[in-house]
Structure 1
């Protein structure tokens, strides 16, 4: 609706950035721990798929696992992904807590991050730079979005008019030590007709 002001982050574009980063590091089997399909989560999933498609990488539904937003959700989702037996060398999680839980699961299974599996999240929470290893993620401009929302509300009250048009904010990519060059430990990508296949 045009009469409702809104602020939003470019979740789709952010997901494209992080998946492009992983692809540039040589990853072709990139898993995604998605959320429960709110609009921001759907946008992250869309960006993930679009980045793979743009790179000519065939997506595999077995590499997408629904997860919650907390650390133990990420741990459980990673256990489920590993139980499927699908090969992957990188994981992009819906948020940082989910990513940290996934990382913990991998490490407890004896897999090194990023030497064996790269891990990336979304949000850049305060724990992200202090993880072991520090977590690659995307920073939301939460402060700027809050200011914009407040200004919209004040303007609407003072002017007695409808809210101004919405604003979408870019996210900032924060590469850290949890992502690295693709490993061959979990399998080698097949290439069919010039298209990499991430299916396990």
Structure 2
């Protein structure tokens, strides 16, 4: 608790976004907004691995590497990604994380989840998991070089993925791909895979 005045304090329930405090990738405390977003009761998630709110193991592992590096170097992390509700429904969100312990940044961190209202259908996939990951990074404005670093592939492989995706969805450039991903071209919207 952070004391604001002698008679007032700020707790996790006072945070206006879905929020969770984690310790070594285990959820230790969360607010009601977090439970409502992911459609879990608090007792179903406290003490559980963050893995249950990720769409798959690959995303859980790759995001874990990325946030660990950022928390250790900068004490904060921001990205956009797919997350999963208790029933498997996926949604796109922006995630902000901040280390609460400077000496051991991954021991305690607070995470704020900001849903972005882009529909994500759960159905027969039009794009692979890797392709969805690449499209998401393009939508964040990342260059092929940035995508390569984030995903752990060569720049040439990132270029190839991007080119194939653009051909597959019928767009000519990164701006159109980001717009398509944003749901502005609803009929061909990518379908997430389970």
| TM-score, scaled to structure 2 | 0.28
Higher relative contact order (CA 8 A, sep 6+): 1
Q: Which has the higher strand share?
A: 2
| TM-score, scaled to structure 1 | 0.27
